[in-house]
Copies of this chain bind each other. A is one copy, B any other.
Amino acid sequence: MAETTQRAEILCVGTELLLGDIVNTNAAFLSRRLAELGIGVYRQVAVGDNPQRLCDALAACLERADIVVMSGGLGPTKDDLTKETVAKFFGRPMRLHQESLETIRDYFKKTGRVMTQNNEKQAVMPEGAIVFPNRYGTAPALAIENESKTVIMLPGPPVELMPLFDEEVVPYLEKKCDAAIVSRNVHFFGIGESALAEKMDKLLTESENPSVAPYCQSGEVRLRVTARSDDKESAAAMCDECVKRIIESEVGCFVYGIDTDTIENALVMKLHESGLTLSAAESCTGGLIAKRITDIPGCSDVFFGGCVTYTNEVKQRLLGVKGETLDRYTAISAEVAMEMARGVRERTGSDIGISATGIAGPGGGTEEAPVGTVYLGISTEEGESFRRLSLSSNRSREFIRTVSATNAYDMVLKYIASK
């Protein structure tokens, strides 16, 4: 592999970023794309619409990086100063770029809007700039190459920046690169980040290429494996070998998917593969189990729907849970969870019914069932079973509900795997 990996930094311009009025999604998008191109991003910086501070930040970025990708400050107003600042930095005069002016005129004609004088400013470019026409707005993107350094300037609005980068800048950068990066995500459920890190300590510490890093979110953990090589194929092969090592290790039993995005995605995929159908009966999760499944387009072939039964009476009316069961065991019980799962399975006609009943808090806990106590039920033609969760009572309502839903999905995945 060529060891001349290019270093990049991202420099975003806009006072609205520093005021926290907008979240910097551009930085994440650009980082992801640059990583895919094999360009390492070493720093993301955001500064306001202030020419001196912008110039200082640019100088610092260029001292460290080969490529600086900038976003924002290409608009028509007076505080849009990115091009002017970069031109001054490299000692290049500004010139009207005739082609850009025509493209901007065309854009206004097509969108039926009136072009104002200050839009002409958007067609003025530093001498020698490589101009990338913008079909999504009025400000063209541009690049300046100066000795070994490259500065790429993109318009700030994500709806313009993202397609413009993919269509114009990616082909431009691909030529510059001689390395490719491939990543795989290994998704775990049922093991915490610390426990996973301890068991995989050697791999996490020693892995450089591929590198292995843990990420944690609402009771789930994933390991991201990233390999860099000359071409996509060999980088992918390096990744796959590392993923295989993880799957074959002692933590392999906790892996629910590779690059599956979320556990509900893995679930919908497994339901499709197995030809089984699902429905859900929800008390404490209040629709979250169904909501996360129906986030996934195309889930309607395998997910029939279900019931949200937030009161005892509605559990009886919609799901046929017996009053006797509720009286004897209370609503927070394995028995009620299993009757709910059976009820929803029978009433919707699905192969599998899942259910959740518990105390999501912050109020409502008792000595027998403190906040965080959740019973999950599963019903199939083979019968019913349940899982009891005792989550910490100082966890948020959102966390308790999310982890409950995730556990319900895990129960269905385990059932499908056992078939």
Q: Which residues of A contact B (CB under 8 A)?
A: 15-25, 27-35, 41-48, 53, 57, 60, 75-79, 107, 110-114, 116-119, 135-136, 157, 159, 183, 192-195, 197-198, 201, 204-205, 213-216, 224, 226, 279-280, 282-291, 293-295, 297-300, 303-311, 313-314, 317-318, 347-349, 360-363, 390-399, 401
Contact = CB atoms under 8 A, between A and B. Distances in A.
A317 B349 contact: yes
23 contacts: A15-B213, A17-B31, A19-B213, A19-B224, A20-B35, A20-B41, A24-B24, A43-B57, A77-B214, A112-B392, A113-B392, A118-B198, A136-B396, A159-B396, A282-B305, A285-B291, A288-B294, A297-B360, A297-B397, A303-B310, A304-B310, A313-B349, A317-B348
B286 A308 contact: no
Contacts of A57: 43
Contact of A294 (B305, B308, B348): B308
A363 B297 contact: yes
Given A53-B43, A348-B314, A297 B29 contact: no
B24 A194 contact: no
B294 A310 contact: yes
Contacts of A284: 294
Nearest to A115: B194
A76 B117 CA distance: 56
A204 B77 contact: yes
A307 B305 contact: yes
Contacts of A392: 107, 110-113
A272 to B, nearest CB: 14
A130 B283 CA distance: 43
